[in-house]
A and B are shown apart, each in its own frame.
Chain A
Amino acid sequence: MHYGMVIDAKYCISCHCCAAACKIENNLPEKTWWNRIMTVGGDTMEAPAGVHPRLSLSFAPVACQHCENPACVKVCPVGATYRDPDTGVVRQDYEKCIGCRMCMAACPYTGVRSFNWDEPKNGTDYALGDADVPAHQKHVVEKCTMCWHRIARGEEPACIEVCPSRIRFWGDLDDPESDVSKMLASRQHTQLLPEMGTKPSVYYLV
């Protein structure tokens, strides 16, 4: 089994629903975002690229790419980040992480790994999201888990079902009958920074 995602980014409207759903579902600390919507070009979020009247506006939701050849896994000195052999999900063990941040230096996808630079607090007085989410820890690295707690129960990751444009898909890339496999078979697609050779499990339709 090899879980992956397909994102039809052409129709992304930058509503940040997937990012917010991720933040709540995983009880993310206030200043942490595992999933972020990037504005392609442009100076600030949601600002078009180019010069009037030749403007363009496009977006790319970016989180951990769950690479088949992950740069982060190779460099972790204690094996706190590892690729789950049964699902292909790149996981992070908060209990093991020594906070050396070698994985953050190794990951080519700028900013998908986040360090808890102080005591993680979510901005409310109570925990949010799913009860099965492991507690966040100070001074460790964390990132998208592909909603490990949900896929373990046979559910989709939280970012998939909230998308109002219905452009996020999740499934088994090894199964030719899965939605994601069919989509990749029929549509042109790309991956982020393919030249890095990391073989991401997240595909963007073009």
Chain B
Amino acid sequence: MTNHNSEAVMDELDMSAAKAPAREAAGARAKAKSGAALNVAIGVSAVITVAGIALWAMQISGGMVQTAMRNLDSWGLYITMFMFFVGLSAGGLIISSVPKAFGIKGFGGISKVAVMTSIAATVAAIGFVVVDMGQPFRVWELFVYSNLGSPLMWDIIVLMTYLILSCVYLWAQVQAEKGKVSAAALRVISVIALVCAILVHSVTAWIFGLQQSHEMWHTALLAPWFVSSALVCGTGLVMVVVIAMDKAGYLKVQRANLVKLAKLLGVFVCVDLYFFGCDLLTEAFPAAGGMAVVDMLVSGPLAPFFWGEVVLSLVALVIAFVPALRTNPLLVVAGICAIAAIFCKRVQLLVGGFQIANIDYPAVLTPYTVTDWQGNMAQAYSGLVYWPTALEFGIAVGVIGLAFLVLFAGIKFLPLKPADEK
């Protein structure tokens, strides 16, 4: 439904790249055009957001029976997207804060834009938790009856802190450029932001990784793995956004900085694939219970997402590491491949966790039991145990619209351009 519109917005901003010689001449024209395009983008994302809210109201009033989630697969697209957007939020903040925290040379003027993408992605992540809740009007209970032992509670605390900190960090960068915040203070904020970024990914991993009930989730590797996956898709996102903004004439990215980003992306993809390999080997080697997880991924219902991740990661890797391939259009392809690969990873984790039931003996099946409840248990698990409904897709597009709205509004109203260009 609203899907079409959001794709159009992405096309407009992401999918093209200029040839270097033509760039200077087109600069002024592009600037005027991009101003109008930005207003259109803000309008379109606002409309998508409002449509999403209307669909969410439908979900609340008509019941979550309209989603495909059921007792045996009790989380779905929303929590997948929550994981995914927490991951996307990483890149911006980490790429921006690491150079400042360690006092090394950064990526030029892209630091503020990068943090803006973090803020937008964090807003989406929080949005996805909210639309997943059965009783969103009881959200205040989280702060009154907090069970501080729950990983979900940790995540809510860390995510809130992360959002506030990202905003403070962005503000501090703007103030530092005006000379109102000292370099030392900015460096302290960078360090805190960096620690918080690593925490937010670890804690999100622990929502899954600390559950002994799902063999696929229950591994100590999950937290570091979430950090590496976040770095992959976050770097991919920053790369896509800065190339798009360079094309739109909003800021100028130096070739050297893009190459640095690409190399970083390649390294992150390698680390992520290494963790993947370690996990698969550990699951498979005893040839016991974990074998079911490996079979499900390699040749079972989740194979398209498994091989999708592998192939997309390799494409990103090759583009990032082969100097001749590091052209702007191909770097955008690499960035999108990296993001899509991590999305495949998230689907594997979420659906895969529910795909293997601890107790799969036949018992009474009702429309509440499992998505495909009309056959027997074996039939319910023969394909993907869960596939979202149109309503879930619609609400998800709405939340993504909100993230784009935040990003575009930031670009329009905040001084995100590199200071030296003004």
Contact = CB atoms under 8 A, between A and B. Distances in A.
Interface of A: 16, 19, 30-33, 36-45, 47, 60, 62, 71, 74-80, 96-102, 104-111, 113-119, 138-140, 192-193, 196-197
A98 B135 contact: yes
Contact of B362 (A47, A79, A97, A140): A47
B153 interface: yes
A75 B150 contact: yes
Nearest to A30: B366
A194 to B, nearest CB: 12
Given A71-B212, A78-B141, 19 more contacts: A33-B366, A77-B152, A96-B138, A98-B136, A98-B141, A99-B134, A99-B135, A100-B132, A101-B75, A102-B207, A105-B213, A106-B211, A107-B213, A109-B358, A109-B359, A114-B71, A118-B64, A138-B63, A140-B134
- What DSSP secondary structure best describes chain A's contact surface? loop
Identify the 7 closest CB pairs spanning chains A and B, nearest first: A99-B134, A139-B134, A118-B63, A108-B213, A38-B361, A31-B366, A117-B65
- What DSSP secondary structure best describes chain B's contact surface? loop
Interface in B335-372: 353, 357-364, 366-369
Contact of A98 (B60, B133, B359, B362): B133
B134 A108 contact: no
B72 interface: yes
B100 interface: no
Contacts of B364: 16, 19, 33, 36-37, 45
Contacts of B179: none
B308 to A, nearest CB: 24
Contacts of B72: 110-111
B135 A45 contact: no
Question: Most A CB atoms within 10 A — which of B129, B211, B359, B360?
Answer: B359
B135 A77 contact: no
Contact of B363 (A37, A96, A99): A37
B74 A104 contact: yes
B353 to A, nearest CB: 7
A112 to B, nearest CB: 9
B139 interface: yes
Interface string B39-61: 00000000000000000000010
Contacts of A47: 362
Contacts of B63: 117-119, 138-139
Given A105-B75, A115-B74, A192 B359 contact: yes
Contacts of A115: 64, 71, 74, 134, 368
Contacts of A108: 212-213, 358
B185 interface: no
